[in-house]
Amino acid sequence: MGVQCVDEQALVERSSGNPLRIAVWATDALLTWKAYGLMPEPYTVTVDGVKLDGVFLGAAGKVRWAFKQETHNNIVVWRPRFLLNGDALQEGEFAGYLAAKSG
């Protein structure tokens, strides 16, 4: 099923028509608009026996992401990197979950 909009259409980039994917390279797994990669899926998350509120993005049974703050052209952005195979955190990253929100 993958991640879909409320109108049941798959999330796609308007200019390329590519779906939202987790593109997996040798050193990274990033959320991007590509014709290839893992299709993000909705998951529930339980931490220490407590189910977290919300729906979280993941793939292949994994839901952990690494987040790092970067600045590009004086604009601060957060870069999510999917932790597919128990990847170690890189300098400046912290681990968490990517929640799907509406509105």
Encode pLDDT of 16-58 as tens digits: 677 778 888 766 777 777 777 888 899 999 999 999 999 999 9
User: Which two three-digit tokens encode residue 28?
Assistant: 């990274």
62 pLDDT tier (thresholds 50, 70, 90): very high
How far is 76 from 88, CA to CA, in rounded Å?
24
Strands (DSSP E) found in the chain: 20-24, 29-33, 41-43, 46-47, 50-51, 55-58, 64-72, 75-82, 94-100
Give yes or no for residue 63 having a pLDDT over 90.
Answer: yes
User: Which two three-digit tokens encode residue 66?
Assistant: 């690494």
pLDDT of 1: 38
